[in-house]
Structure 1
């Protein structure tokens, strides 16, 4: 019985750790439905490399490469922590890392985009080059 309890607790802790900081996640369809026209309190933050970003991006998005760790860290410190940031990357992995880092840095509203630009393009949503 003790072994079963230890296994269950270990599985729960592993699951919790792999979830990161449990910030909100939405799909690309949900992101596409959000009105961004004149609302500067909402920002799409693309955390891919500059080259990936140049190959196709969501119109109006901002680019900060999460792989440039020190630059990313200093750059997010300059952002308004009260805005809502919709964080996207190629597939959803780097954006999850970036979103967690932003939450740890004190950002109030950070949303990870599940599936990233791959899912955005697969859904035939507009891409700006």
Structure 2
């Protein structure tokens, strides 16, 4: 019986570790340290509305409104799935859902920025208006 319990626990552990569905997250401070290069293989993807984006955004970021579901879905189809995307929104909720959707669509390198633009601005990091 004891061996059966250990075997079941081991199997459960292996299955949970192999799922690969854990959300990759990063803080705004960590994002601020990322070195972006001229190859554009790293992209900050802002998923707020165009109005929110116009109020202030991260220099060089790309805006695709996550709330326009069909638009977002069709827009990400045109993105390079080999690039790394740092997904940010207002506070972290939309970006987490957008990151999940992108992974489900086959993107391998998607990072959700926790705290969003509220955290970015609270940390006094540069904002383009």
TM range (shorter): 0.7 to 0.9
Partner of 1:23: 23
**How many equivalent residue pairs?**
110
Partner of 1:100: 100
Give secondary structure in 1 for the equivalent of 2:31: helix
Deviation at residue 121 of structure 1 after TM alignment: 0.2
TM-score, normalised via structure 1 length: 0.83
Deviation at residue 23 of structure 1 after TM alignment: 2.7
- Say whether 1:38 aligns with 2:16: no
Partner of 1:82: 82
Partner of 2:127: 127
**CA–CA distance in 2 between the matches of 1:49 and 1:22?**
26
Q: Any idea what the Cα deviations from partners look like across 1:46-96, whole Å, max 9, x if unmatched?
A: 000000000000000000000000000000000000100000000000000
CA-based RMSD: 1.2
Give secondary structure in 1 for the equivalent of 2:66: coil
TM-score, normalised via structure 2 length: 0.83
Partner of 1:65: 65
Larger radius of gyration: 2
Segments of structure 1 that go 5 or more residues without pairing to the other structure are 1-15
Segments of structure 2 that go 5 or more residues without pairing to the other structure are 1-15
Structure 1 runs (4+) greater than 2 angstroms displaced: none
**CA–CA distance in 2 between the matches of 1:39 and 1:27?**
23
